């Protein structure tokens, strides 16, 4: 018994053409090309719209000028129906400007009728390009959805991290802080009840170490849970700058208004963490001589700029897979509807700029947070 190959699926073509003779020429050319096709002819806009409702076509072949309308009018009908079928113009000379206008609106290709011998190849190319375009659009949609999911996860991760930081800060305050305070009372009691010089010497050393431990615990708590933000973002940024100078010996000047009112807590925390991370990176890598911090809310946009005059950051450094600090700041900025820019030239310093539109930021605010 002989196995016959399955019949190929015919290519369904809607032909918008008012000339029966030209339609016959198209069908003959398609037969000559060897493909299996089904061609339906319509010659009015109403018939065109009705055919689109009744059947799905692989490609539309259209004359440019027909009685009372053009192929562009037919294209508008397709747009109203939200159809994404490739359209090829097969027409007499229509002029370069008309052909360009047709291609610009989205029509796939144009073939003069005197070149009808190329019709098969032109249709194949139009269908293939349309398939590629649809795949690209689908990939773009999937990419956008993936980026949205990633942004949501980043926001959730940042929120979780802040909650964990707050919990750790509370433990340090309640447990370690309480224990250190109790030790201080005991040392004071021993100091009052002992006159032995050696004991007093050890008590003095222990007291100094205790003071250091208390300062360290307070510093760690402040880094984990920025209670200074309760005094406002400007005060918090000034505190970060002062702490940076004490820690590194580098001058850090702050230029900001006395106070910025009405900032959502999520925006304040984003600006605080951006400043904190920028100063940490400067202290580790910049090898600079000075740092400048500028903060403003002019024109409805919160702008934070941290600049240094150090070594700078190369594009290769920013592209490293391990460059999570800057990437994390960019993701954090997105969670409050803002963005982060990094401007740097090797040997000429670095500027990290956070921008958050305040008119939109409240939509991203998560309200009161335990941070």
- pLDDT, tens only, 64-89: 999 999 999 999 999 999 998 999 99
Class of domain 228-371: alpha beta
Name the pLDDT band for 1 (thresholds 50, 70, 90). very low
Least confident of 82-96, 144-158, 185-199: 144-158
Q: Maximum distance among all alpha carbons in the chain?
A: 123
- What average pLDDT is seen over the chain? 86
60 pLDDT exceeds 90? yes
250 pLDDT exceeds 90? yes
Confidence (pLDDT) at 6 = 57
Interval 273-286: pLDDT, tens? 999 999 999 999 88
Query: Which stretches within 255-296 are classed as H helix?
Result: 265-281
Contact 281, 325 (CB under 8 A): yes
Give, in order, the Cα–Cα distances in Å from 95 to each of 15, 91, 101, 115.
21, 11, 10, 15
Cα–Cα distance for residue pair 161/253, rounded to 1 Å: 29
Cα distance between the two ends of the chain: 79
Which secondary structure element, helix H or strand E, spans residue 111, and what is its range?
Answer: strand 109-112
User: Which residue ranges make up each domain of the chain?
Assistant: 11-139, 228-371
268 pLDDT exceeds 90? yes
Interval 124-144: pLDDT, tens? 999 999 999 999 999 999 998
Name the pLDDT band for 371 (thresholds 50, 70, 90). very low
Q: Per CATH, the architecture of 11-139 is what? A: 3-Layer(aba) Sandwich (3.40)
Confidence (pLDDT) at 228 = 81
Name the pLDDT band for 366 (thresholds 50, 70, 90). very low
Residue 292 sits at the vertex; the CA angle it makes with 312 and 307, to the nearest 5 degrees, is: 25
């Amino acid at each position: 018994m002989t196995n016959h190959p399955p019949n190929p699926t015919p290519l369904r073509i809607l032909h918008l053409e008012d000339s029966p003779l030209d339609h016959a020429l198209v069908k003959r050319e398609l037969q000559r090309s060897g493909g299996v096709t089904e061609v339906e002819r319509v010659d009015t806009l109403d018939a065109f719209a009705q055919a689109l409702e009744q059947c799905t076509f692989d490609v539309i072949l259209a004359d440019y000028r027909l009685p009372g309308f053009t192929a562009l009018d037919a294209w508008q009908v397709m747009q109203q129906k939200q159809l994404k079928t490739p359209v090829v113009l097969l027409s007499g000379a229509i002029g370069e400007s008309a052909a360009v206008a047709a291609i610009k609106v989205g029509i796939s290709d144009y073939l003069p009728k005197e070149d009808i011998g190329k019709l098969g190849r032109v249709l194949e190319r139009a269908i293939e390009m349309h398939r590629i375009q649809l795949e690209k659009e689908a990939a773009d949609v999937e990419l956008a959805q993936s980026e949205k999911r990633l942004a949501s996860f980043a926001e959730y991760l940042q929120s979780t991290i802040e909650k964990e930081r707050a919990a750790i800060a509370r433990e340090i305050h309640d447990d370690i802080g309480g224990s250190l305070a109790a030790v201080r009372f005991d040392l004071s009691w021993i100091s009052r009840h002992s006159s032995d010089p050696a004991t007093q010497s050890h008590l003095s050393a222990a007291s100094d170490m205790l003071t250091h431990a208390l300062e360290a615990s307070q510093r760690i708590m402040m880094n984990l849970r920025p209670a200074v933000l309760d005094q406002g973002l400007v005060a918090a940024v000034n505190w970060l700058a002062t702490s940076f100078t004490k820690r590194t010996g580098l001058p850090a000047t702050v230029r900001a208004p006395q106070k910025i009112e009405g900032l959502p807590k999520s925006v304040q925390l984003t600006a605080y963490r951006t400043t904190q991370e920028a100063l940490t990176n400067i202290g580790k890598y910049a090898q600079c001589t000075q740092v400048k911090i500028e903060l403003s809310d002019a024109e409805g946009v919160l702008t934070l700029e941290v600049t240094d005059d150090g070594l700078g950051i190369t594009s290769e450094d920013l592209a490293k897979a391990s460059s999570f600090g800057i990437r994390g700041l960019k993701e954090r900025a997105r969670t409050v509807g803002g963005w982060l820019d990094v401007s740097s030239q090797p040997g000429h310093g670095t500027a990290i700029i956070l921008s958050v539109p305040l008119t939109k930021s409240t939509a991203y605010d998560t309200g009161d947070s335990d941070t």
